[in-house]
Chains A and B, each alone.
Chain A
Amino acid sequence: MIPSLLFATGLGAGALGALLGIGGGIILVPVLSLAFGVPMQHAVAASLVCVIASSSGAAATYVRDHRCDVRLGMKLEIFTVAGAILGAFVAPLLPTSAIQILFALMVIPAARSMLRKAPADEAASFEGQGVEVRHLPLGYAASVGAGTLSAVLGIGGGPIKVPVMTMIMGVPFKVATATSNLMIGVTASASVFVYLSRGLLDLEIVVPTVLGVLAGAMLGAMAMPHVPTARLKGVFAVLLLALGVQMLTKGLGVDLWSWT
């Protein structure tokens, strides 16, 4: 019973992750810990493995069909990985709650502007080749910031990378989510090796969930060219809003988890 429920959870998180360019941790961590009673540390570890599954499962299709900008993704990867390393160092020195509140104040308006219509929104099909990129240096700087923030706040990079690509660099939304999918697996793998080498993964939870995520990511990537962009942007905005509220409550010291 439990393995099939975990598989189903993974299936949903994987499909959504593939469509939105996020790892799915934002969904998996609360579901695993609240619905399945998995301890927080194990839920975070399991969700990191799922980020790789979602990223690689979806990117295999996106790269093959030329849906993502591989070259842009790899350029930004350098900056986000560098930012993540920087973040690991500076995190203990920073006032985390203040950053959580500032991040929330940044992300909530971003959710709003995510809903602004772009000319390419009407078309469901998209092409990752020959995408015109604006403000590349600013995009690099924002990617360092995205990597640092992910490490400091303990969140996945997707919810920051996608807005950076769409809002700052002018990349079409679907190309941005497909490219983000390619990128997020790389940074998650570094953390998973650490968990794996220390034997910190609860395999009974991880195995069925990851299998579900792999299947979900492949289905999501196949469905992507048929889903209207405007609808995806709406869901993304809701997730950004949820992330902003979560960070705001954390920063203000309200423990959302203690309600259950």
Chain B
Amino acid sequence: MSDGPVQTTGESSVAPVERATLASNEAAFPPANLGAPHPDDDARSELLLALVLRGGVLSAASLLGAALAISLLFGLPIHGGGGSLQDLWQGHTPGLQSLAQLGILALALTPVARVALSIPIFARAGERKQALIGLGVLLLLALSMLLGKAEG
């Protein structure tokens, strides 16, 4: 996170002569965090985002898979009456159902985590505009959750 700002302040204190050399170097080798991002940084940011998605999907699948396996093996029904998230936190939800609810929670958090983590990931790669876009999506998402209805 701290890479970006440190480099910017360093750059502004460079003497005029050095600046000129920097500028001529930039023409030949554009640095990764100025102008168009370097292709390697692009790829790295995307691999990190893919990792977030994969992690979320795998944790959701393990929780849901465990719930289904236990339910089938022991002949227990998963559904024990519609418990809310509040019941889940307070421990009022039966074991199997809470396992399944946690799995769905992990799944629902996956796209949100992808958007939220894209902010530091893009910021680190010097893609400030893309990080701001991520922040915008996150804020609008929070707004639509608060309003309680929005599909699409």
Count contacts between A and B, CB distance < 8 Å: 188
Chain B residues near A48 (CB-CB < 8 A): 151
| A186 and B104 contacting across the interface, CB-CB below 8 Å | no
Q: Does A258 contact B (CB under 8 A)?
A: no
Chain A residues near B43 (CB-CB < 8 A): 66
| B57 and A78 contacting across the interface, CB-CB below 8 Å | no
A55 CA to B53 CA in the complex, in Å? Answer: 10
A19 CA to B102 CA in the complex, in Å? Answer: 28
| B137 and A81 contacting across the interface, CB-CB below 8 Å | yes
Residue A207 contacts which of B82, B85, B103 (CB distance < 8 angstroms)?
A: B103
| A81 and B150 contacting across the interface, CB-CB below 8 Å | yes
* B45-79 interface bits toward A, Cβ cutoff 8 Å, 1 = contact, 0 = none: 11101100110110011001101100110000111
A35 CA to B3 CA in the complex, in Å? Answer: 56
A156 CA to B151 CA in the complex, in Å? Answer: 7
Chain A residues near B140 (CB-CB < 8 A): 78, 81-82, 85
| B53 and A60 contacting across the interface, CB-CB below 8 Å | yes
Chain A residues near B130 (CB-CB < 8 A): 71, 74
* B81-97 interface bits toward A, Cβ cutoff 8 Å, 1 = contact, 0 = none: 01111110000000001
Residue on A nearest B137 in the bound complex, by CB: A77
Give the B interface residue count (CB, 8 A): 61
Residue on A nearest B79 in the bound complex, by CB: A204
Binds B, one of A99-107, A131-139, A190-198: A190-198
Chief secondary structure at chain B's binding surface: helix
| B151 and A84 contacting across the interface, CB-CB below 8 Å | yes
Residue B49 contacts which of A53, A70, A88, A192 (CB distance < 8 angstroms)?
A: A70
| B79 and A52 contacting across the interface, CB-CB below 8 Å | no
Interface residues of B (CB under 8 A from A): 39, 42-43, 45-47, 49-50, 53-54, 56-57, 60-61, 64-65, 67-68, 71-72, 77-79, 82-87, 97, 100-101, 103-105, 107-112, 114-115, 118, 127, 130, 133-134, 136-137, 140-141, 143-145, 147-152
Interface residues of A (CB under 8 A from B): 3, 48-49, 52-53, 55-57, 59-61, 63-64, 66, 70-71, 74-75, 77-78, 80-85, 87-88, 129, 146-147, 150-151, 154, 156-157, 184-194, 196-204, 206-208, 210-211, 214
Return 10 A-B CB contacts under 8 Å, by A number: A52-B107, A64-B46, A74-B115, A74-B118, A85-B143, A185-B111, A192-B104, A196-B105, A197-B85, A199-B83
